[in-house]
Amino acid sequence: MENNGVITINNLVKRFPVGGDFFTALKNIDLTLNKGEFTGMIGPSGSGKTTLLNIIGGLDSPTEGQVSVLGQALNDTSHGERARLRRKHMGFIFQSYNLLPVYTVFENVELPLILNKIDKDERRSMVEQAIESVGLTDKMDSRPNMLSGGECQRTAIARAIVHQPALVLADEPTANLDAENSHHIMKILSNLNQELSTSFIFATHDEKIMAYLRRIIHLDDGEITEDEIIDNPKAHD
């Protein structure tokens, strides 16, 4: 992790068995992402965005090719090592939030720190800081069923960034939100990206998100069709 290369992908292919045949979800993907990038992978449904995101997160494995994340070659790592990589250096944001329903906001955000065995006092201060950064201090003791969609997603963001990961992977983070909440969420994420130098990768086809991205990778039918660098994102105008 000394160099700027956070993700390096070479010749990635992913096939899924479908009936007696195989469906190729990703075809010969070559990609490099650097530290602090705010990148979106966009494309229609079935273009392979989520599959690519899952492979980068070590939740799925490539059929062919090399994937290196934060200096670790995922092809050569065990489930346990990939879990460790996620636990220490990655954060996930899901379209449907995936908050644990029986936990409060505080406890949901605290969970990655418990897994990382951070001591209680430090944990409390880190959780409070993360919750404050997403503006949910007054909802700390609420359970997910008492929160709006936007608040749930802000909780999920706090959980993804609480352990200050090097990389945050967000799968359609605004798909279930209205326009106002979507912009609010993207502003939070954009600010966190600038403050923490955390790299963010989004899988999305939400137009509203694109206005915030500084790099857009277009995917179609499992292939990268365009890799676009945005010097001045519209939302920052």
Task: Please state the φ and ψ torsions of residue 228, each to the nearest 5 degrees.
Answer: -110, 125
* Nearest distance in Å: CB 94, other proteins: 7
Q: Which of 172, 165, 169 lies closest to 198, judged by CA?
A: 165
Measure the N-to-C terminal CA separation of the chain; round to a whole number of Å.
32
- Closer residue to other proteins, CB minimum distance, 94 or 211: 94
- Closer residue to other proteins, CB minimum distance, 67 or 210: 67
86 binds other proteins (CB under 8 A): yes
- Closer residue to other proteins, CB minimum distance, 35 or 87: 87
- Closer residue to other proteins, CB minimum distance, 13 or 111: 111
Half-sphere exposure of 174 (CA within 13 A, CB side): 22
* Residue ranges in 107-136 that form contacts with other proteins under rule CB under 8 A: 107, 111-112, 114-117
Give the binding-site size for other proteins (rule: CB under 8 A). Answer: 29
Q: Is the dihedral of CA 108, 113, 117, 119 positive or negative?
A: negative
| Interface residue with other proteins, options 10, 77, 98, 181 (CB under 8 A) | 98
Half-sphere exposure of 233 (CA within 13 A, CB side): 19
102 binds other proteins (CB under 8 A): yes
Q: Which of 56, 82, 73 lies closest to 168, judged by CA?
A: 56
Element (H, E) at 17: strand 5-18
Which part of the chain contacts other proteins (CB under 8 A), choosing from 95-103, 128-136, 198-206, 210-218? 95-103
Phi-psi region of 11 (alpha: psi -120 to 50; beta: other; left: phi over 0): left
* Residue ranges in 12-51 that form contacts with other proteins under rule CB under 8 A: none
63 binds other proteins (CB under 8 A): no
Residues near other proteins, by CB under 8 A: 54, 57, 59-60, 79-80, 83-88, 90-92, 94, 98, 100-103, 107, 111-112, 114-117, 159
